[in-house]
Structure 1
Amino acid sequence: MKKHDENKDLKLFSKVGKVETGTKTLKLSTSATVGIRMWGRIDYLTHYCGYVLIFNNFAGVGINTPAPSDYYTYKKTKKDYQDTYKTKRNNKRSQL
């Protein structure tokens, strides 16, 4: 297939379901929302790369992302951590 890449498609599928490369299985939750492009990636992985798709209620998601309500607090705490790290590093250099 000209437009698909196995590693790229596995990485993108891991946002929706779980990937087990050792057993070549793709686990997808029955409640997951899958678009037409993702179905194309799943089709490529199952028909051309030898992966097996399993629908499972407890599949979960490979990458944990914060909930939309917690997004702003997550972003703020991440920014605060980066700011404190930068100031600590700058203070260490100024003391030398």
Structure 2
Amino acid sequence: MHSNSIRQDQSMHCLLAAGSTLYVKTGKLRLIAWPQFVEGLAWQADTVLDTGCVYQVPNDGWVELRALQTSDVLLQKPEPVRWWQALVQAWQSLWAGWRGHQPH
């Protein structure tokens, strides 16, 4: 876990992995994700996070944290997925799909 303080009207840029978690201990931030592109379309997430907010990063990429008020932020990288966990998740998805297609 990594802790940062950002003064009002300052920004911090971070390269975050999908599944990373941001926790705003104090203050108010604007989280601006750099543009994402899908089939030639671009969009940019712009989210305001207040004291106590937890935000889980959906995609790998750069974000800008702009302090609307002086803020203390905790950044936590996602836990690495072990190969057996991925296998169990895949098996559970297959099993659920197979059970859903059984004749009644």
Normalised by the length of structure 1, the TM-score is 0.41
Which is bigger in relative contact order (C-alpha 8 A, separation at least 6)?
2
TM-score (ref. length: structure 2): 0.38
Q: Computing the radius of gyration over CA atoms, which structure comes out larger, 1 or 2? A: 1
- The structure with the greater share of residues assigned to helix is 1
